[in-house]
A and B are shown apart, each in its own frame.
Chain A
Amino acid sequence: MSRHSGISLFLMELVMMLAVFVTVAAIDTLMLVKANNLSRQSENLDRAVEYAVSAAECYRATGGGARAGMTDTGGAWTQYFDKNWQSTDESGAKFAVIMTDTGGGAQVTVNDGGESIYTLSVKAAPNEG
């Protein structure tokens, strides 16, 4: 009797602790997933700011985006990047840096798909240079 009750006790304990562990693991997994997403978002924001600033500085110095590696698409300068922020063409792109002329200045927008991550406005003083 005691032998059977010993194993039953162990199995009961195992099942209970399994339930506890699964609950704790579920909560912690949610936190880890959120942390991973936040980390990715902050990395994307940092890169977006860098490329937006490069485009803005290029516009300040030259009035266009060619020196920063952007392409003139008729009315706007664009540059496309894949998910690892490596330069690519439009078809395989996840991120897009778009600089549009606003008459005396430019607006630089960095998009992730259809969503804007970062926007910057710059004005050039034509008398300079």
Chain B
Amino acid sequence: MESRSRATGQLIWILLFFAFTACVIAALLQAAMVYNNITGVLNDEFSIHTGLNYVQSRVRSGDSGGGVYVGKFDGIDALYCLEKDSDGEYTTIIYGYDGSMRELYCEKGAEFEPDAGEKLLDMDSLGFEDAGSGLIRVTCASGGSTGSIYIASRTEGGGGA
């Protein structure tokens, strides 16, 4: 009788201890899930918002003489920003290739492979479309999230392919 009560007492404290431990672990896992959710969304959305902002800044700083237009770079949708100086004409080409947004600065008409561009951001896809009337539609996707924005060229000749 006494030995049974002792065994029961031992069992109770062991069970209590494990129940408490399980609750503590469940609370920690919940907190980790929330943190994971916040940082996961941040990473995906960061690529999209930063990418779109960067393209916007590029268009706004290069909108001169119809020098901003949509085209194809080795069959890939690309945005061209043309600039002229005393040395000649140069283009900045922004495109999506191999899971990232890339930028290539070269002489106008020079031929390069798509992997020659510098990687700017990780991005699943990047698309440029001429929406007419000088409007350019930029769409991008990263980690299940997508974003798009319209940018207008204020100068004549800009926007179109």
Contact = CB atoms under 8 A, between A and B. Distances in A.
User: Direct A–B touching in the complex (beta carbon < 8 Å)?
Assistant: yes
Interface of A: 3, 7, 10-11, 14, 17-18, 21, 25, 28, 32, 35-36, 39, 43, 46-47, 50, 53-54, 57-58, 60-62, 67-68, 128-129
13 contacts: A3-B9, A7-B12, A7-B13, A32-B31, A54-B150, A57-B150, A57-B151, A58-B152, A61-B150, A61-B159, A62-B133, A128-B154, A129-B133
B149 interface: yes
A76 to B, nearest CB: 18
Q: Could you tell me the dominant secondary structure of chain A's interface residues?
A: helix
B34 interface: yes
Interface in B112-160: 131-135, 147-152, 154, 159
Interface residues of B, number: 33
A58 B131 CA distance: 10
Contacts of B1: none
Contacts of B12: 7
Given A50-B147, A54-B150, A35 B135 contact: no
